Amino acid sequence: MNRLSNWLGEFVHPPREARLDLGRRALLGAGLAGLGAKVLFGIAPQASKRSFNPALIRPPGALPEDEFLARCIRCGECMKVCPTNAVHPASLEGGVEGLWTPLLIMSLGYCDYECNLCSQVCPTHAIRQIEVPEKQKIKIGLAYIDRNRCLPWAYSKTCIVCEEHCPTPKKAIWFEEVEVRNIQGEKLTVKQPRVDPDLCIGCGICETKCPVKAPAAVRVTSVGESRNPENQMLLSNDNYGQG
């Protein structure tokens, strides 16, 4: 008992070998370095809330960016578990502070419609734990058609791959049937895809499967993501006629 009280007393008066011998100035310097780092992070454009990086597509369920960066421990669990190899460590898309936080690269993988594994494994719930039905309503971005690369638009060739893969219950890609002429001068009808921004959830399967590569003819950017009311292109995210 005496040993115990001696031991507890030593937290108040540490013995010589328990002292860490850290210089006061060096400690202050270290603290200021932490402060300085935070200040430098705070002046990055991503912190301005005015400009958003189109490549910063976070996994569905990710918290709003400030909270996300405060929780994410840059561990790579979500990157390991993602079955489609869609989640990658960011370089500077989220600023220096965002180094090695997760983002999706749709040219390499897409966010599977029936999957919520990243939200299951995140140790700090920077990606909140959500069930699949909720995940399926979260937008992580929006797809857009690059009319200069898309086969029916630019080359008068038939292609319907993006619409076929679109997983939403009412497809977020629809066709306008257009009569065009091919290189021989013959008339043909092609289905030119268009994205419906109210329905698109930005899952990226269209970009991943698009037969046009480097870059794909349909691409996803972060605008329209549900978690960020500033990064929007439409006034409302509702489906047509559902208020």
Q: Residue numbers of the site for another protein (CB under 8 A)?
A: 3, 6-7, 10-11, 14-22, 26-27, 29-31, 33-35, 37-38, 41, 66-67, 69-77, 79-81, 83, 85, 88-89, 91, 97, 99-100, 105, 108, 114-117, 120-121, 123-125, 132
Q: How far is the CB of 196 from another protein (least distance, A)?
A: 27
Q: How far is the CB of 137 from another protein (least distance, A)?
A: 18
Task: Select 79 or 173, whichever has its Cβ closest to another protein.
Answer: 79
What is the spatial distance between Cα 218 and Cα 203, in angstroms, rounded to a whole number?
Answer: 12
Task: Select 115 or 188, whichever has its Cβ closest to another protein.
Answer: 115
Task: Select 116 or 192, whichever has its Cβ closest to another protein.
Answer: 116
Q: How far is the CB of 179 from another protein (least distance, A)?
A: 41
What is the spatial distance between Cα 80 and Cα 86, in angstroms, rounded to a whole number?
Answer: 10
Give per-residue burial for 93-107: e unless 16+ CB within 10 Å, then b.
bbbebbeebbbbbbb
Q: Per the structure block, which two tokens stand in for 120? A: 């299951």
Task: Select 135 or 171, whichever has its Cβ closest to another protein.
Answer: 135
Q: How far is the CB of 140 from another protein (least distance, A)?
A: 17
Task: Select 109 or 152, whichever has its Cβ closest to another protein.
Answer: 109
Backbone Cα Rg of the chain: 25
Q: How far is the CB of 59 from another protein (least distance, A)?
A: 14
